[in-house]
Amino acid sequence: MIKIAVLGYGTVGSGVVEVIEKNKEMVNKKAGEELEVKYILDLLDFPDDPYGDRVIHDFGTILADDEIRIICETMGGVGKAYEFTKLALQAGKSVCTSNKELVAAHGPELLALAKSNNCNYLFEASVGGGIPIIRPLNYSLTAERIEAITGILNGTTNYILSKMEYEGADYETVLKEAQEKGYAERNPEADVEGHDACRKIAILSSLMTGKNVDYRRIYTEGITGIQPRDFAYAKQMGMSIKLLAISREEKGKTLAMVSPFLIDAGHPLHMVNGVFNAVFVRGNMLGDSMYYGRGAGKLPTASAVVSDVIDCARHIGKVIMCFWDAQEAELAVIDQASRRFFLRVKTEGADRARALFGAGTEKVTLPGVPEECGLITPVMTEADFAESYGKLDGLCVGRRLRLEA
Ligand code: NDP
Ligand code: HSE
């Protein structure tokens, strides 16, 4: 019998207990041993909960208990979660986490700590919720040089954007809905400003390069300021607006960024809607492959945590290889990245904008909207676009968007 402790009995933590209990027979069979949740650490008591008798408030009890071999960290944050994870790994207890903030901030250190204590630090749930993506990168695509990863990596923002696009829903109302469904971070700014997707692409980029991609150096824009009219233009152009997290090899460096993009109907990520996430991976031998599923929510995320628990149970006393060194990856600045851009200008500014962006600029108009038009620029660098865009002071409407090929 392997005994487990769950740290944090919130959305994901309560899901972990539920998955282990509901799928007990299958989970035990696949783990090769019986698993039992012995402790649940939380700040509160849960007297009416069926597992309320396992709730404790002192991490020291878990640390001192030699029966506990695996800990699920589903508290979140980089304070106590970091402290408890380090103590657990130093004590030789494996840790499985959904906490991408901690993985992005301290991944290499915690992996090294796990290795030196002959245990494991696993984080399948930290990216893409229930989608298996960490394990494919670590185990399945090991013969590949990964050239690019493009993902919809945040369930909350994809839920918001889809509801705005297909139902004309209001931003604030849908954000509230995403919070009620347990998708959003404690501070939803992390979702809507792109910080959560940034941490996730930092984790994937680190696994892609084998070096540490510092999330603080990744160019990040969120979805705030996207207006219903942007979706009207997108529809007119046969496109969709998605918050993409991108990482690719560019001249020996890693180019990583998070931003809302217009993507056309032929793009594999176009039909990824609602809380669903998808990760599109390009390997140099395999070519393209895509991983799709629920990117947030209690049971999908918990399922990924429990898959890690099973992996740890199968590898007691053995270290599962993960190639993520502390050495910093070299990041490319985005200024020289080239693409097309979409902007909205007041009608009186259209000629000036076209003169600035060049002859290949395409115009898009919306029926019944004479006061403005949309423009799609030719392919140009971020730096050149920014320079011309800056010269349109007072003539632009809303925010500009990037186009993903
Ligand atoms: P919740 O806020 O629902 O759960 C966190 C739980 O941990 C709460 O019950 C909280 O108690 C408890 N907690 C916080 N600090 C401590 C502490 N020091 N000691 C004991 N208990 C503590 O968050 P989620 O379950 O949504 O998220 C957990 C982690 O998983 C986060 O890192 C999140 O980013 C990540 N994640 C979440 C997903 C989701 O869909 N929700 C999906 C993928 C990852 P209290 O409420 O009293 O503060
Ligand atoms: N808040 C996150 C999201 C949870 O919406 O994707 C899953 O990591």
User: What CATH number is given to the structural domain containing 368?
Assistant: 3.30.70.120
CB 188 within 8 A of CB 179: yes
CB 152 within 8 A of CB 158: yes
* Tokens linked to 29: 């069979």
Q: How many domains does the chain have?
A: 3
CA of 300, nearest ligand number: 1
Instruction: Write b or e for each residue in 105-133: b if 16 or more Cβ atoms lie within 10 A of its Cβ, otherwise e.
Output: bbbbbbbebbbebebbbbbbbbbbbbbbb
Ligand 2 nearest-atom number relative to CA 159: 5
pLDDT for the residue 34: 97
Instruction: Write b or e for each residue in 61-93: b if 16 or more Cβ atoms lie within 10 A of its Cβ, otherwise e.
Output: ebbeeeebbbbbbbbbeeebbbebbebbbebeb
**What counts of helices (H) and strands (E) characterise the chain?**
14, 17
CB 56 within 8 A of CB 40: yes
- The response to whether residue 147 sits with its C-beta less than 6 Å from ligand 1 reads no
Q: For the chain, percent helix, then strand, then coil, each to nearest 5?
A: 40, 25, 35
Cα 47 to Cα 96: distance, rounded to the nearest angstrom: 26
Q: In terms of domains, do 145 and 161 share one?
A: yes
pLDDT for the residue 144: 97
* Tokens linked to 13: 């933590």
CB 228 within 8 A of CB 164: yes
Q: In terms of domains, do 147 and 235 share one?
A: yes
CATH code of the domain containing 305? 3.40.50.720
The answer to whether residue 25 is domain-embedded is yes
For residue 32, how many other CB atoms are within 10 A of its CB? Answer: 12
Cα 269 to Cα 240: distance, rounded to the nearest angstrom: 9
pLDDT for the residue 108: 98
Amino acid found at 13: G
User: How far, in Å, from the CA of 264 to the mean position of ligand 1?
Assistant: 36
pLDDT 10s per residue in the chain (405 long)?
999 999 999 999 999 999 999 999 999 999 999 999 999 999 999 999 999 999 999 999 999 999 999 999 999 999 999 999 999 999 999 999 999 999 999 999 999 999 999 999 999 999 999 999 999 999 999 999 999 999 999 999 999 999 999 999 999 999 999 999 999 999 999 999 999 999 999 999 999 999 999 999 999 999 999 999 999 999 999 999 999 999 999 999 999 999 999 999 999 999 999 999 999 999 999 999 999 999 999 999 999 999 999 999 999 999 999 999 999 999 999 999 999 999 999 999 999 999 999 989 999 999 999 999 999 999 999 999 999 999 999 999 999 999 998
| Kind and range of the H or E run holding 147 | strand 146-152
Q: In terms of domains, do 159 and 271 share one?
A: yes
Residue ranges making up the domain that contains 399: 335-404
Cα 185 to Cα 75: distance, rounded to the nearest angstrom: 12
- The response to whether residue 99 sits with its C-beta less than 6 Å from ligand 1 reads yes
* Tokens linked to 149: 């990863």
Q: Which of 113, 118, 115 is nearest to 102 (CA)?
A: 113
CATH code of the domain containing 149? 3.30.360.10
Q: Which of 298, 383, 394 is nearest to 339 (CA)?
A: 383
pLDDT for the residue 405: 80
Q: In terms of domains, do 53 and 19 share one?
A: yes
CB 244 within 8 A of CB 261: yes
The answer to whether residue 322 is domain-embedded is no
The answer to whether residue 272 is domain-embedded is yes
Q: In terms of domains, do 75 and 183 share one?
A: no
Q: In terms of domains, do 289 and 302 share one?
A: no
Q: In terms of domains, do 123 and 166 share one?
A: no
**Whole-angstrom distance between the N-terminal and C-terminal Cα of the chain?**
52
Q: In terms of domains, do 185 and 302 share one?
A: no
The answer to whether residue 30 is domain-embedded is yes
pLDDT for the residue 258: 98
Q: In terms of domains, do 148 and 256 share one?
A: yes
pLDDT for the residue 359: 87
The rounded Cα 199 to chain-centroid distance in angstroms is: 7
User: How far, in Å, from the CA of 7 to the mean position of ligand 1?
Assistant: 9
The answer to whether residue 328 is domain-embedded is no
- The response to whether residue 10 sits with its C-beta less than 6 Å from ligand 1 reads yes
Q: In terms of domains, do 110 and 208 share one?
A: no
User: Which of 102, 183, 244 has the most ligand 2 atoms within 8 A of CB, as the residue to mutate?
Assistant: 183
What is residue 264's three-state secondary structure? strand
Cα 52 to Cα 14: distance, rounded to the nearest angstrom: 11
pLDDT for the residue 384: 98
Q: In terms of domains, do 219 and 282 share one?
A: yes
Q: Which of 58, 43, 44, 49 is nearest to 21 (CA)?
A: 49
* Tokens linked to 152: 């919809």
- Which positions are catalytic? 200
The answer to whether residue 324 is domain-embedded is no
Q: In terms of domains, do 158 and 271 share one?
A: yes
